[in-house]
Amino acid sequence: MPANFGFNPADMTRFLPEILLAVFGTFLMVLDPILQKRASYAFGHLSILGLLAALGGSLAAYNNAGPAFGGMLVIDGYGTFFRVLTIAVGILTVLPSYRFLARQEAETSEYHALLLFSIAGQCLMVVANDLIMVFIGLEISSISSYIMAGYLRDDKRNNESALKYFLLGSFATGFFLYGVALIYGATGSVNLSTVRAHVLQQNAEPVLLAVAAALMFVGLAFKVSAAPFQIWAPDVYQGAPTPVSAFLSAGPKAAAFAVFLRIFYTAFEPIGARWEPLVWGAALLSMCIGNFAALLQTNVKRMLAYSSIAHAGYVLVAITARSGDGAAALMFYMASYALMNIGAFAAVTYLSGKGDRFVDVEDFKGLAKKQPMAAALFTIFLLSLIGVPLTGGFFAKFYIFRAALESHLVWLTVLGLLNSAVAAYYYLRILVMMYMHEPSEASETVEPLSTGLRLALVLPALGTLVLGIFPNWVLEFAGKSAAMIR
């Protein structure tokens, strides 16, 4: 595709968040030798500053919406929604990290720089309209997060986590890239709009196209930890530093889902009837495996990992719906999921103590007696994960299953809803521990909430409640921008 690579100031505005994130990230790395440990909080402050700037940047970019760099990026409502979401996830990851890193005596700027780079990659992914751009974004995001998963390099589990994530992750990226190559072979282009046009005119070799779609599905299903490509998630989430697990379960996942939807709703939309059964199966399998395996977990981080697999299943239901409503439901779901999940992980960070010692379900015993505020906030997240009304999690599920029923996916809806009743059990177990038992060692010794952790719990809790009581605003935006994807 002929592209005009001449300098265009509008392109720069549209690319502003990535530029800002990269600049701040690089600046942080340079700063490390200068500041060292003397002002370790400065790293955190600076990365929040960078993220806020990027937030402003993405809004500025949206003000000037349109394609950039010859159609390789397209800045639309959908992309901006996810840009803002991943940046917000970044902020909510930095907040609990203050306390976490201080506790581990591992405050470096490299942690924050990697986070910013990873988010830059995700921001790029979600606005990419070109498979190569998607791939570059995916790689930037993934490689940074591989390193973050192994950030505490003296910790055995951190190493295991990073290695597993890296090996399986590169495999999946390989699958994705192979799919991209085949698409190029079949259609002669990697631009999503052009590919779509070719598919519509049935210019492309159907077998090649189907194989390419399947390969890309495998790669992306891995990234969103959907079954049967979910095996890495529990080990990685359990082993990684807790704030990083929170980040992994929200940021990269949201970006990967955004890409998933964009590719399958644009380029492969014309062959929707063929991939629908594939996604249908993956959705059901993810929900069942995630929920039933979570029932058996005793480690909270591992349990949340399985729960995030199950939630990936719910989101795949939205993709299966193949409608504008489905896309809007996916956007809303990712927003409320990111908030409640990152909040839940922040609560785990709060309790876990030095060296992530207290991460068992049992360790939450009696937290409500010792720290009622923290327990109450965690309760909001758990109720939202269950899907109790007046929380974001409920509306998110509601919209997804409505979209599914509009598309006549009756069985998937019934099975999915039954699954969410099963899920209630393991979330309730934490509530039982917090409220209905005498305090454990962990709750006895836990320190009062620090400012960063307090914010990391209060902000997502407020967000969860707002999405649960006044979802209009977000929903309207999602509906409007979902209609523009095609």
- Please give the residue ranges that form the binding site for another protein (CB under 8 A): 369, 372, 383, 386, 388-390, 394, 398, 401-402, 405-406, 410, 413-414, 417-418, 420-421, 424-425, 428-429, 431-432, 435-436, 471-472, 475-476, 479
Between 28 and 321, CB nearer to another protein: 321
Nearest distance, CB of residue 414 and another protein, angstroms? 6
Nearest distance, CB of residue 350 and another protein, angstroms? 20
Integer Cα distance of 270 and 264 in angstroms: 9
The SS3 call for residue 75 is: strand
Between 51 and 385, CB nearer to another protein: 385
Between 4 and 472, CB nearer to another protein: 472
Nearest distance, CB of residue 400 and another protein, angstroms? 10
Nearest distance, CB of residue 432 and another protein, angstroms? 5
Between 343 and 393, CB nearer to another protein: 393
Nearest distance, CB of residue 292 and another protein, angstroms? 14
The SS3 call for residue 128 is: strand
Integer Cα distance of 327 and 312 in angstroms: 14
How crowded is the C-beta side of 400, counted as CA atoms within 13 Å? 32
Cβ atoms of 423 and 385 closer than 8 Å: yes
C-alpha separations of 476 from 93, 191, 314, 389, 423 in Å: 27, 29, 21, 19, 29
Q: Which residue has tokens 């990290």?
A: 97
Other CB atoms within a 10 A radius of the CB of residue 402 amount to 16
Cβ atoms of 373 and 453 closer than 8 Å: no
Nearest distance, CB of residue 474 and another protein, angstroms? 11
Strand runs (DSSP E) across 100-193, as ranges? none
The SS3 call for residue 7 is: coil
Between 255 and 331, CB nearer to another protein: 331
Nearest distance, CB of residue 438 and another protein, angstroms? 11
Between 41 and 473, CB nearer to another protein: 473
Cβ atoms of 58 and 84 closer than 8 Å: yes
Between 41 and 411, CB nearer to another protein: 411
Residue 448: DSSP 8-state: P
Cβ atoms of 334 and 257 closer than 8 Å: yes
Nearest distance, CB of residue 328 and another protein, angstroms? 9
Between 349 and 413, CB nearer to another protein: 413
Residue 104 host element (H or E): helix 77-104
Nearest distance, CB of residue 11 and another protein, angstroms? 34
Integer Cα distance of 383 and 146 in angstroms: 31
The SS3 call for residue 67 is: strand
C-alpha separations of 280 from 221, 277, 321, 415 in Å: 12, 5, 9, 12
Q: Which residue has tokens 């992914």?
A: 125
Between 151 and 426, CB nearer to another protein: 426
Nearest distance, CB of residue 290 and another protein, angstroms? 16
